[in-house]
Structure 1
Amino acid sequence: MSTTQEENGLPEGWQVRRSNTKNLPYYFNPATKDSRWEPPAGTDTEKLKLYMAKFHSSKVPSSGVSAPEGKIRAAHLLVKHRDSRRPASWREPKITRSFQDAQGLIEGYRERIHNGESLSELATTESDCSSASKGGDLWATPLHLDELTLTGHRGYFSRGDMQKEFEDAAFNLQKGELSDIVATASGLHLIQRLE
């Protein structure tokens, strides 16, 4: 079944496909053979956001095995700003919001989570990280995670694998607990420890 630009918001000729190796969606143009992790120029990001939430979000179940010694598993929601290390995302090819605007957004998301929404649901449509397609879960995210430098095995990470601010916050959480807002060079995060 072919998806039109009206449905997914992508420019003419572009498709959303799923990577077999990373199990993540990516963007592909069969005519030019161009593929990329970020949406191509000219994408209607609001339509894409709705399309991705409907067809490409999936909750990754618990692994069923205990975490390797000294390692944890987490999910996060990332809001980037123009001073982030890489001010672009699957939602926006160029992020121009200020740090203060990003802080206002993430404070609103934190409030919504406290009022009953899940981090997973919000991350699917609002996170500026490629882990959005997995509800923010780092379990099935590629090793290059918007520059967080995930080097752990299958989403588990230990100290020294992530940006220090991120890992310090994650390791200080109990299973299921949500962090305060955490600032890293990548942007602002809400982190939830999963295992």
Structure 2
Amino acid sequence: MSDDTGLPTDWEVRHSNSKNLPYYFNQKTHESRWEPPADADTEKLKVYMANHHSSSANGRSDGAAGEGKIRAAHLLIKHRDSRRPSSWKEQNITRSKEEAIEILKGHEQSINSGQTTLGDLAPTESDCSSARKRGDLGLFGKGQMQKEFEDAAFALKPGEMSGIVETASGVHLIQRIQ
């Protein structure tokens, strides 16, 4: 294992300029990937990524929304029936959809009670790579997201958060930013 990242030897975290996201790179084999290597120490990696690769709450601004576009953040919990049941946090996700919903309900209660925010939870709890940006998906228009996600996100007013939304990716809480 290398230093405080939790990554195996020869692996490092690099930053993609085109996607503005961190990714994993093997210096020896030149393999690059969005998901961490199988033998990474996920607990160490989670802490490292939250400390070094998540933007601050308003650390970046995309300016005014483009024509017909909105900006939203989300918290994704995947389950074994998700389209791709693995994430940066967990190589093989085995929880049931019901368990994923229960986890998300707990997060929803914490957010609604004012204990925390979606942006504060996303870096350690979301199964989406957007966790590194506090769940921020940036600007998107109609037809860019899965239909259930899009319908829920576009129905929100800026600042509002959805209830639990199910898609092929898993279960989400969505917060409209702008």
TM-score range normalised by the length of the shorter chain: over 0.9
SS of equivalent residue, structure 1 residue 8: coil
* Structure 1 unmatched ranges of 5 or more: 140-154
1:171 to 151, 154, 166: 154
Q: What is the alpha-carbon distance in structure 1 between the residues aligned to residue 150 and residue 90 of structure 2?
A: 26
Q: 2:54: which partner in 1? A: 57
> TM-score by structure 1 length?
0.85
Q: 2:132: which partner in 1? A: 133
Q: 1:103: which partner in 2? A: 101
Q: 1:161: which partner in 2? A: 144
Q: Shift in Å at residue 8 of structure 1?
A: 1.1
| Deviating 4+ runs (over 4 angstroms) | none
Q: What is the alpha-carbon distance in structure 2 between the residues aligned to residue 193 and residue 42 of structure 1?
A: 36
Q: How does 1:26-45 map to 2 (within 5 A)?
A: 26-45=23-42
Q: How does 1:136-151 map to 2 (within 5 A)?
A: 136-139=135-138
Q: How does 1:71-90 map to 2 (within 5 A)?
A: 71-90=69-88
Say if 2:108 is the partner of 1:124.
Answer: no
Q: Shift in Å at residue 118 of structure 1?
A: 1.2
Report the AA paired with residue 157 of structure 1: G
Q: 2:163: which partner in 1? A: 180
SS of equivalent residue, structure 2 residue 107: helix
Q: What is the alpha-carbon distance in structure 2 between the residues aligned to residue 61 and residue 11 of structure 1?
A: 31
Report the AA paired with residue 28 of structure 1: F
Report the AA paired with residue 140 of structure 2: Y
Q: CA RMSD in A?
A: 1.3
Q: What is the alpha-carbon distance in structure 2 between the residues aligned to residue 135 and residue 122 of structure 1?
A: 8
Q: Shift in Å at residue 100 of structure 1?
A: 1.2
Q: Shift in Å at residue 6 of structure 1?
A: 4.3
SS of equivalent residue, structure 1 residue 77: strand
> TM-score by structure 2 length?
0.93
2:92 to 91, 94, 97: 94
SS of equivalent residue, structure 1 residue 131: helix
Q: Shift in Å at residue 32 of structure 1?
A: 1.3
Percent of paired sites with the same residue? 62
Q: Shift in Å at residue 156 of structure 1?
A: 2.3
* Structure 2 unmatched ranges of 5 or more: none
Q: Shift in Å at residue 69 of structure 1?
A: 2.8
